C-alpha cells in the first residue's frame, strides 16, 4: 500500500532543555530516526515541517533522502501540520494515505507503520494508542479529590493515519484560535470515526531531559540470538594498466588499476556479498549480472547501497562489518580511515561499526606475485 507522511518537528523543547529534534540520540539527531523509519517502510513522500529558521539545519539531517521534503511550519502544532498538508496536496490525491507523526517520538518502526496501513485497508482513519494501565487520580493542590476509572481509556500515540482529503477537510472545519491536541481530535470534530491500533510502549514521547537516557537504553537491547545472521564474502580482480584503483569506495592513485565489468572495487564487492549472504538474498551476480551492459563501469557503492537497503526494508539492522584487503600494493594504511568513513556513509551506520584491514601473502600466490588483489568481508546483522 502506497502512503505519504508528515513529520512535525517544530517544537521549542523548553521542558527538555532545547530543541530536542536536533539533539543527539544514540549518535543521530532525534529527527533522523522517524524519517529513517518511514524511508524503510517505503513512504512515497515524506514532508518534514520545521521552524523557518531551522530549514537549512533540517536539510543537513535528512537531505540525503530524495523522498524527503522540508517545509517551514507555523506557530502551533496544528498550523505546522496544516503546512505539511498543503505541501502534500500539491502532488497527492484526496484518497492517498497520510501518516502524521511527531518527531519527538523517535522510536518508530516499520512494523508499527505496517499495522496502521493494514487497518487503513478497511478504516478511514486510525491511530496508535496504548490502554491506560496505571490507576488514575484527580487532585487539587496535590490532594487527591477523585479516582476516575481507567476503563476504555487509551494513551494516544503517533503516527495517526488518514485519507489526505479527509484530514484536510477536517482541518478546514476546526474552529480558528482553538488548539487541538492531535489530529484524532480534529478528525472527531469533523465527524470522522478514528479506530485504535495498539501501539508500543517504546514509542514514548521525548518531553524531559531525562527521557533521552531512557530512550537510549531502549535503543540498545541485546539482540535475540535467533535474529542474528553472519555473512561472508570474497572477491578477486586482476591488475591491469591504469592510474588509479577504487578500494572500499575510495579512489587511490596507483600505477595500475583493477579490471572488472564495474569499477572492480573488490572490497565493496566482497562486503556486498557478505550482506546478501547474511540476509539470504543470493549474491551480487544475481542482482547485478556482469553480462548486463548497464553495469559496465558502474560505481560499486550502488551495489552495497542496494544490499543495505534490502536489509532495512526487511526490518533488519547492520551490526558491524569487517573487510580485509589482500595485496602487496597499494599500501592501505594511509587510506584506511577514509575507507571506513565511506563504508559507514554508504551503509548508514556509525563508523565505529566498520573495520577495514589489509594483509599480504608474503609474496606467495597470485596476490604475492601482484597479478591481482583479493578481498574478504564478514558482517553481522539482525533480521
pLDDT tens track for 293-342: 999 999 999 999 999 999 988 888 999 999 999 999 999 999 999 999 99
Q: In terms of domains, do 11 and 150 share one?
A: yes
For the segment 63-81, what is each residue's pLDDT rounded down to a tens digit? 889 999 999 999 899 999 9
Q: Which of 186, 218, 250 is the last residue of a domain?
A: 218
Question: Residue 12 above 80 pLDDT?
Answer: no
Q: Is the bond preceding residue 330 a cis peptide, omega within 30 degrees?
A: yes
CA torsion sign, 160 to 165 to 168 to 174? negative
For the segment 147-156, what is each residue's pLDDT rounded down to a tens digit? 999 899 999 9
Q: In terms of domains, do 190 and 277 share one?
A: no
Q: In terms of domains, do 248 and 212 share one?
A: no
Question: Residue 222 above 70 pLDDT?
Answer: no
Question: Residue 16 above 50 pLDDT?
Answer: no
Q: In terms of domains, do 43 and 176 share one?
A: yes
Answer whether 81's CB lies under 8 Å from 6's CB: yes
Range of the domain at 364: 225-382
Q: In terms of domains, do 55 and 130 share one?
A: yes
Q: In terms of domains, do 123 and 229 share one?
A: no
More confident residue, 378 or 291: 378
Q: What per-residue confidence (pLDDT) applies to 14?
A: 45
CA distance 235 to 259: 12
- Cα angle, residue 376 at apex, residues 375 and 379 outer, rounded to 5°: 140
Q: Which of 218, 250, 269 is the last residue of a domain?
A: 218
Q: In terms of domains, do 43 and 58 share one?
A: yes
Q: Which of 171, 189, 218 is the last residue of a domain?
A: 218
User: pTM score > 0.75 for this model?
Assistant: no
Q: What per-residue confidence (pLDDT) applies to 221?
A: 62
Q: In terms of domains, do 340 and 372 share one?
A: yes
User: What element of type H or E holds 358?
Assistant: strand 354-359
**Which range among 9-18, 27-36, 39-48, 135-144 shows the weakest confidence by mean pLDDT?**
9-18
More confident residue, 16 or 317: 317
Q: What per-residue confidence (pLDDT) applies to 258?
A: 97
Residue 74: how many other CB atoms lie within 10 Å = 15
Q: Backbone dihedral region of 342: left (phi > 0), alpha (psi from -120 to 50 degrees) or beta?
A: alpha
Q: In terms of domains, do 201 and 313 share one?
A: no
Cell numbers standing for residue 210: 531525562
Q: In terms of domains, do 292 and 349 share one?
A: yes
CATH number of the CATH domain containing 346: 3.30.1330.50
CATH number of the CATH domain containing 137: 3.90.550.10
Amino acid at each position: 500500500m502506497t502512503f505519504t507522511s508528515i513529520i512535525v518537528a517544530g517544537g521549542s523543547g523548553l521542558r527538555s532543555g532545547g530543541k530536542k529534534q536536533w539533539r543527539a540520540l544514540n549518535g543521530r539527531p532525534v529527527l533522523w530516526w522517524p524519517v529513517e523509519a518511514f524511508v524503510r517502510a517505503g513512504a512515497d513522500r515524506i514532508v518534514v515541517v520545521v521552524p523557518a529558521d531551522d530549514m537549512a539545519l533540517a536539510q543537513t539531517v535528512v537531505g540525503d533522502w530524495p523522498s524527503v521534503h522540508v517545509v517551514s511550519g507555523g506557530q502551533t502544532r496544528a498550523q505546522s501540520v496544516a503546512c505539511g498538508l498543503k505541501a502534500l496536496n500539491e502532488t497527492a490525491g484526496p484518497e492517498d494515505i497520510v501518516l502524521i507523526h511527531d518527531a519527538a517520538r523517535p522510536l518508530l518502526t516499520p512494523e508499527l507503520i505496517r499495522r496502521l496501513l493494514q487497518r487503513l485497508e478497511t478504516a478511514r482513519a486510525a491511530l496508535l494508542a496504548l490502554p491506560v494501565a496505571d490507576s488514575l487520580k484527580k487532585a487539587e493542590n496535590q490532594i487527591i479529590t477523585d479516582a476516575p476509572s481507567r476503563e476504555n481509556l487509551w494513551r494516544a500515540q503517533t503516527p495517526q493515519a488518514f485519507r489526505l482529503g479527509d484530514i484536510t477537510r477536517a482541518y478546514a472545519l476546526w474552529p480558528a484560535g482553538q488548539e487541538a491536541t492531535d489530529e484524532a481530535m480534529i478528525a472527531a470534530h469533523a465527524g470522522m470515526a478514528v479506530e485504535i491500533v495498539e501501539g508500543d510502549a517504546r514509542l514514548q514521547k521525548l518531553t524531559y531531559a531525562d527521557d533521552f537516557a531512557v530512550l537510549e537504553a531502549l535503543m540498545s537491547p541485546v539482540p535475540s540470538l535467533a535474529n542474528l545472521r553472519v555473512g561472508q564474502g570474497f572477491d578477486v580482480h586482476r591488475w591491469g594498466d591504469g592510474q588509479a584503483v577504487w578500494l572500499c569506495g575510495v579512489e587511490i592513485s596507483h600505477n595500475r588499476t583493477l579490471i572488472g565489468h564495474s569499477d572492480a572495487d573488490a572490497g565493496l564487492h566482497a562486503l556486498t556479498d557478505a550482506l546478501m549472504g547474511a540476509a539470504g538474498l543470493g549474491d551480487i551476480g544475481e542482482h547485478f549480472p556482469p553480462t548486463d551492459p548497464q553495469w559496465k563501469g558502474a560505481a560499486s557503492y550502488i551495489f552495497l547501497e542496494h544490499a543495505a537497503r534490502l536489509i532495512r526494508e526487511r526490518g533488519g539492522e547492520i551490526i558491524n562489518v569487517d573487510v580485509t584487503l589482500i595485496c602487496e600494493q597499494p599500501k592501505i594504511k594511509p587510506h584506511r580511515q577514509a575507507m571506513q568513513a565511506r563504508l559507514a556513509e554508504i551503509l548508514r551506520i556509525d563508523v565505529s561499526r566498520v573495520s577495514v584491514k589489509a594483509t599480504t601473502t608474503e609474496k606467495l600466490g597470485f596476490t604475492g606475485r601482484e597479478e591481482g588483489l583479493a578481498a574478504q568481508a564478514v558482517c553481522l546483522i539482525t533480521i
